[in-house]
Amino acid sequence: MRDILVHACCAHCLGKLLAALKAGPEAWAPTVFWYNPNIHPLIEFRRRLKAVKMLVERAALPLIADETYGLVDFCRAVHGHETAPERCRECYALRLGRTAQQARAAGCPVFTSTLVTSRHQDHELIRAAGEAAGTAAGVEFLYLDARAAEADPRLVHMLYHQQYCGCVFSEYDRYKDTTTHLWPPSAAPKQTNPA
């Protein structure tokens, strides 16, 4: 078995990635790494971390967790790059750079990320950021397209499932067009008809 450090952003994506690793041709011994200064607000950060801890406990996997709420680090990283895909590129570089460094420090020659399970993320940017981070730290980034993977239901049963990527910008993108929580309901943003 080869050691691999798995950067995890949430429990459901972690479940998918573990299934993809298990289904692959190589036998892996994963250690899970939590480092997500992009996840906001604080309560969202705590919900996701709690769910990852619960999944790791169920799967009997080791966990390395940086539980520092990273609002300032994230804001500094994306300042001047607030729109996608520039924001995402900076965010991937921040998180995968730290993961590669942690992989080297932990003696894991390979690292990957649950980002590769998402249908909503830019896989070209993820791969580029992971490979650059791996080269800089002297470890290998394992890219696999795990979008079709399905998590073991026993691992993710009743765990918190988020509705947006994590940052305040992605939350805005997710909910900006909804009328939920507007009062009165007729206070919904007016749509203009093009002439």
- Condensed to tens digits (0 to 9), the pLDDT of residues 180-195 reads 888 887 665 665 555 5
Q: What are the tens digits of pLDDT across the range 35-67? A: 999 999 999 999 999 999 999 999 999 999 999
- The pTM assigned to this predicted structure is 0.90
What backbone torsions phi and psi does residue 84 show, to the nearest 5 degrees? Answer: -75, 145
**What band does 179 get if pLDDT is binned at 50, 70 and 90?**
confident
Which domains does the chain show, CATH number per domain?
Answer: 2-178 (3.40.50)
Mean pLDDT of 154-166: 91
Other beta carbons within 10 angstroms of residue 77's beta carbon come to: 19
Q: What is the pLDDT of residue 194?
A: 57
